[in-house]
Amino acid sequence: MPRQARLDTPGTLHHVIVRGIEKRRIVDDRRDREDFVARLGTVAADTATVIYAWALMKNHAHLLLRSSEFGLSGFMRRLLTGYAITYNNRHRRHGHLFQNRYKSIVCEEEAYFLELVRYIHLNPLRARQVKAPADLDNYQWSGHVVLLGRHANDWQDRDYVFSMFGKTKKAAQAAYQKFVLDGVRQGRRPELVGGGLIRSMGGWSEVKALRRMGGTEPADERILGGGAFVERMMKEAETNLRKQLAPRQPGQRPAQVIKSICAEVGVKAQELRAGSRRHLVAVARLRIAQRLVEELGLSLAETARQLGVSTSAISKALSRAAGKKVK
């Protein structure tokens, strides 16, 4: 069965889950964790993506975010590709670091926003990264400590979360902390880790009751929300698809980047695609690849196609450049 397209329009609330390939680690030590969190903040700021909650564990990560005009896919590509290149270079490994397709669930905000903030910030406890609920207050690798004021991250939106808990910062922090601790006894909350009818209805018993009464309720595995919300999101998806299929000039932004950098360096675009190894051509090719991947969010394969080289050539060039930065 073919994979379904991502659902995303600017301003959409997403619960994103990133896992290591074959359940392997995505961070090995403090330096890896610092790099992942720093990249998360940088890419969020650069793309105007709003981060409300996040948690980084050994082999997976959770994010609650609101996408921008840049789009969820572009944001995630910049975050994961940039981090994976540096991680592989530092640990002298090759191949994929993350599962090929991260999980993203469009969430109905009114019903699920606070529950997801709590679910994500309790994840280190469920994943046994900390031993007791009180230890969450000192777990540096999640947005929980930011909301408590024990760690500063300018890119995390605390004000929006606090607006749902109290009129003053102090009161909001206290109410938020109690809300999180109250969620410990609720257990793993599998209904919050995906979409679909069972989750939207609140469990299989509710679905069976609906069917006994002859009722129907729209549902989609990519959406966590009630029937009306699912219908609205699907209509938006149809509209977006029609826009994407409308005639447009392909590759306009990458073409502009290529033209601009070639002019700056003093080479011809034809030399890039002809496989020239001239030093200035290599310089231009690297600068273009960095811009296309890190700023425009293109995949390595698409970047290679734009430059007329292999995907492995782009990967190696970016890895070498990343290695020089971290030394």
Q: Is residue 6 part of a domain?
A: no
Question: What letter represents residue 72's amino acid?
Answer: L
Does 133 share its domain with 222?
A: no
Where in the chain does DSSP place strands (E)?
A: 13-19, 50-56, 60-66, 103-107, 223-224
Q: What does the pLDDT average to over 154-166?
A: 94
- Mean pLDDT is lowest, of 203-217, 250-264, 306-320, for 203-217
- Segments forming the whole domain that contains residue 233: 195-245
pLDDT computed for residue 72 by the predictor: 93
Given a contact cutoff of 8 angstroms between Cβ atoms, the answer to whether 13 and 109 are in contact is yes
In a domain, 4, yes or no: no
**Confidence class of residue 204 from pLDDT cuts 50, 70 and 90?**
very low
Indicate which CATH number applies to the domain containing 256. 1.10.10
The pLDDT assigned to 111 comes to 85
pLDDT band of residue 236 (cuts 50, 70, 90) is low
14: CB partners within 8 A, 6+ apart: 8, 63, 64, 65, 66, 67, 72, 104, 105, 106, 107
pLDDT at 1: 42
- 2 occurs within a structural domain: no
What pLDDT, on the 0 to 100 scale, is given for residue 297?
Answer: 73
Structure tokens given for 35: 């790099």
Residue 108 lies in a domain: yes
Q: Please indicate, yes or no, whether residues 104 and 208 belong to a single structural domain of this protein.
A: no
Give the chain's domain count.
Answer: 3
- 245, 270, 287 - which closes a domain: 245
Task: Show the CA angle centred on residue 35, arms to residues 23 and 50, nearest 5°.
Answer: 90
Q: What are phi and psi of 68, to 5 degrees?
A: -115, -170
Query: What is the pTM (predicted TM-score) of this model?
Result: 0.69
Question: Is residue 40 located within the same domain as residue 72?
Answer: yes
Q: CA torsion angle for 125, 128, 129, 134 (degrees, to 10)?
A: 40
At residue 192, does pLDDT exceed 90?
A: no
pLDDT digits (tens, 9 = 90+) for 258-275: 989 999 988 888 888 777
Do 147 and 187 lie in one domain? The reply is yes
The residue from 166, 191, 216 where one domain ends is 191
- Residue 8 covered by a domain: no
Question: How does residue 18 score in pLDDT terms, banded at 50, 70 and 90?
Answer: very high
Q: Are residues 39 and 129 in the same domain?
A: yes
| Pairwise CA distance, residues 14 & 95, whole Å | 27
Same domain, 120 and 23: yes
- Is residue 37 very low, low, confident or very high in pLDDT (cuts 50, 70, 90)? very high
- Residue 291 located in a structural domain: yes
Tokens 């447009």 belong to residue: 248
CB burial of 38-72 (b: ≥16 within 10 Å; e: otherwise) equals: ebbbebbeebebbbbbbbbbbebbbbbbbbbebbb
The CATH code of the domain that includes 110 is 3.30.70.1290
Q: How many CB atoms lie within 10 A of CB 107?
A: 22
